[in-house]
Amino acid sequence: MKPRDRLRIAMQKSGRLTEPALELLNRCGLTFRQSRDKLFCFGEGEPVDLLLVRDDDIPGLIAQGVCDLGIVGRNVLNEYRLTGGLAGPALAEWRPLGFGRCRLSVAVPQELDYRDASQLQGQRIATSYPGLLGEWLRERGVDASVVTLAGSVEIAPRLGTADAICDLVQSGGTLVANQLREADVLLESEAVLAGPQALPSDERGDMIELLLKRLDGVIQVRE
Ligand code: ATP
Ligand code: ZN
């Protein structure tokens, strides 16, 4: 691929991470021409542009070198590391960003008296995170059948297609509405700055270092 002289950051086009990610970049002194309905946002002052995409596409775009950095949930980044990104270059979590906090948890029917993961032996567990769930089960020596669903995971037990689920939880309200309760936490997640393990050796590497420095300043002020 032709080397670029501008830095490109991927972020979620429309969703929970969009507003806080833009605000964080603004605080780092980055402003963008208003064209948020588009895929591409041109950076005004600094040579840094945005690519607005679905959050699930962000790790792949970094791995392919289409983008230099991305703002994405740790849950999405780690799932990609376990499933999508096995052949490609390794991705790194450069900074935790302090927003978009949630947990990836196993939830079970409310009436079940859950003590530990061994009770999931032989059960069907619905999830959009087969990589993370599979690893967690393996580490505990539990043999369960992982049912991969793209969305609406929380209704699977009511539909009879799963016995338990593994999904993102913030307040737990969705679980209660579906007669489920949080039983075990697999991953504490938040938005992170993701990038390649090795910084590019051209001037984009210097730009990334500068951005990391500004980010550290902004995050420190916020804490
Ligand atoms: P996209 O259209 O980009 O694929 P999405 O529906 O996958 O959007 P959102 O629901 O906006 O994504 O969530 C984006 C990220 O926000 C999640 O990957 C997760 O890291 C974080 N998050 C925080 N709280 C929650 C929650 N309660 N449910 C889901 N995601 C949450
Ligand atoms: Zn998504």
pLDDT tens-digit profile of 122-143? Answer: 999 999 999 999 999 999 999 9
CA of 58 to the centre of ligand 2 (A): 10
Q: Is the pLDDT of residue 98 over 90?
A: yes
Interface ipTM above 0.90: yes
> CA torsion sign, 95 to 97 to 100 to 101?
positive
User: For 31-39, which contacts have Cβ atoms below 8 Å and span 24 or more sequence positions?
Assistant: 39/13
Count CB atoms within 10 A of the CB of residue 151. 8
Can you tell me the mean pLDDT for 159-181? 96
The ligand that comes nearest to the alpha carbon of residue 18 is 1
- Residue 72: what residue type? V
CA of 56 to the centre of ligand 2 (A): 5
Alpha-carbon gap, residue 77 to 172, rounded angstroms? 23
Q: Is the pLDDT of residue 43 over 90?
A: yes
Domain architecture of the chain: domains with CATH = 7-100+191-222 (3.40.190.10), 102-189 (3.40.190.10)
CA of 101 to the centre of ligand 2 (A): 15
Can you tell me the mean pLDDT for 57-79? 97
> CA torsion sign, 193 to 198 to 203 to 209?
positive
The ligand that comes nearest to the alpha carbon of residue 153 is 1
CB 120 within 8 A of CB 114: no
The ligand that comes nearest to the alpha carbon of residue 79 is 1
Most ligand 1 atoms within 8 A of CB, residue of 18, 102, 192 to mutate: 102
Q: Is the pLDDT of residue 1 over 80?
A: no
